[in-house]
């Protein structure tokens, strides 16, 4: 696409040291290890560079795909035409604000953020330690596990719109609900989030993190590529239990399978395609609906050629 070539030229003129790749495989940047080439993939190295990239795409009328840690994304086999901005290396940093608050840039992993809190004798992020991905992705999705959710601890979030302007969302304005937030309806990037935590002892926090990590290793197929929980929790029951009850553990389409270890996960056994995963998702939805009358909703973000999510 001529417009994308022009964008690349402009970015290289502005910041020659940019990491910019043409036809970069998305499979290299997603936890599913699935996805064809991105026409252009840009890796800004700071918030300033990220703002420059976003402003330039905005001025040229290009709507980019935004990719953080890639842990909740199923990218299409044909790849995507346009530009993918990878934000995780641009937004790095953790800071203790006071006795109970920390600030985390959105590119930080949840594991590092939870351990930073532990080192400062703060509790509240233990549940997040084992969730793959970044702070930004977790805030965007209101990620949760083992009875905790991001909404329980996130009190303020900085958000950069595509034109480079920054807005502050505090408290209820973050719009948290089950696996959703106000940011899902906005075009832009989460920059940083402030968490309100509870004073504790480092040893106790670390012990809780270890306990939850042991539970995860025992229950989840962490040894295989996946995008975490494949389906959202329905209004009644649990997705994994409904899938198991329908006898679907081990169900395969191509290289994609419902995990034998945890029915809520779809895993890449090797060589799985996005088409395999999507076909499997549809089969699971239909068979669970036939068995229980519950229609499961995917939790994985499905990138498509015609819609950015």
Residue range 134-178, pLDDT digits in tens: 999 999 999 998 999 999 999 999 999 998 899 999 999 999 999
List 31, 123, 181, 229, catalytic entry: 229
3-state SS track over the chain: CHHHHHHHHHHHHHCCCCEEEEEEEHHHHCCCCCCCEEEEEEECCCHHHHHHHHHHHHHCCCCCEEECCCCCEECCCCCEEEEEEECCCCCCCEEECCCCEEEEECCCEHHHHHHHHHHCCEECCHHHCCCCCEHHHHHHHCCEECCEEHHHCEEEEEEEECCCCEEEEEHHHHCCECCECHHHHCCEEEEEEEEECEECCHHHHHHHHHHHHHHHHHHCCCCCCEEEECECCCCCCCHHHHHHHCCCCCCEECCEEECCCCCCEEEECCCCCHHHHHHHHHHHHHHHHHHHCCCCCECCEECCCCCCC
Selected from 3.20.20.70, 1.10.390.10, 1.10.10.10, 3.30.43.10, the CATH number assigned to the domain covering 2-86 reads 3.30.43.10
Exposed/middle/buried for residue 79 (C-beta within 10 Å: 0-12, 13-18, 19+): buried
Q: In the CATH scheme, what is the code of domain 94-205?
A: 3.30.465.10
Residue range 4-41, pLDDT digits in tens: 889 888 888 887 767 899 999 999 999 999 999 999 99
Active site residue 229: yes
pLDDT of 1 reads: 63
Domain ranges (residues) in the chain: 2-86, 94-205, 224-302
Residue 302 has pLDDT above 90, yes or no: no
pLDDT of 274 reads: 96
**Spatial contact of 35 and 25, defined as CB atoms under 8 Å apart:** yes
pLDDT of 31 reads: 95
pLDDT of 309 reads: 33
Residue 306 has pLDDT above 50, yes or no: no
Angle between helix 47-59 and helix 2-14 axes, rounded to 10 deg:
140
Selected from 1.10.10.60, 2.60.40.1180, 3.90.78.10, 3.40.50.300, the CATH number assigned to the domain covering 224-302 reads 3.90.78.10
Reported as a pLDDT band with limits 50, 70 and 90, residue 304 is low
Average pLDDT over residues 193-212: 97
Average pLDDT over residues 295-306: 81
Share of the chain above pLDDT 70, in %: 97
Residue-averaged pLDDT of the chain: 93
Residue 203 has pLDDT above 50, yes or no: yes
Active site residue 179: yes
List 179, 192, 194, 301, catalytic entry: 179
Residue range 272-284, pLDDT digits in tens: 999 999 999 999 9
Give the angle subtended at the CA of 308 by the CAs of 304 and 309, to the nearest 5°. Answer: 100
CA distances from 47 to 116, 150, 176, 279 (A): 21, 23, 25, 38
Residue range 231-287, pLDDT digits in tens: 999 988 899 999 999 999 999 999 999 999 999 999 999 999 999 999 999 999 999
């Amino acid at each position: 696409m001529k417009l994308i070539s022009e964008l690349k030229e402009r970015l290289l003129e502005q910041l020659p040291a940019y990491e910019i790749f043409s036809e970069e495989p998305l499979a290299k940047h997603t936890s599913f290890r699935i996805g064809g080439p991105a026409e252009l993939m840009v890796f800004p190295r700071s918030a300033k560079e990220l703002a420059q990239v976003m402003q330039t795409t905005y001025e040229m009328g290009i709507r980019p795909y935004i990719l953080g840690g890639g842990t909740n994304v199923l990218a299409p086999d044909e790849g995507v035409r346009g530009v993918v901005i990878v934000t995780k290396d641009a937004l790095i940093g953790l800071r203790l604000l006071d006795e109970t608050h920390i600030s985390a840039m959105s590119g930080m992993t949840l594991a590092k953020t939870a351990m930073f809190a532990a080192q400062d004798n703060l509790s509240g992020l233990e549940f997040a330690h084992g969730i793959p991905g970044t702070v930004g992705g977790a805030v965007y999705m209101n990620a949760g596990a083992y009875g905790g959710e991001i909404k329980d601890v996130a009190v303020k979030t900085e958000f950069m719109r595509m034109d480079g302007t920054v807005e502050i969302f505090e408290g209820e304005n973050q719009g948290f609900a089950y696996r959703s937030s106000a940011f899902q309806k906005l075009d832009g990037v989460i920059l940083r989030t402030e968490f309100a935590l509870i004073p504790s002892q480092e040893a106790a926090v670390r012990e809780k993190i270890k306990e939850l990590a042991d539970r995860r290793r025992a229950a989840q197929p962490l040894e295989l590529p996946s995008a975490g929980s494949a389906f959202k929790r329905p209004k009644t029951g649990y997705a994994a239990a409904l899938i198991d009850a329908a006898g679907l553990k081990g169900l395969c389409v191509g290289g994609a399978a419902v995990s034998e270890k945890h029915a809520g996960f779809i895993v890449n056994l090797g060589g799985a395609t996005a088409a395999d995963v999507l076909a499997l998702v549809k089969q699971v939805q239909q068979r669970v609906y036939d068995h229980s009358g519950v229609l499961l909703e995917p939790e994985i973000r499905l990138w498509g050629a015609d819609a950015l999510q």
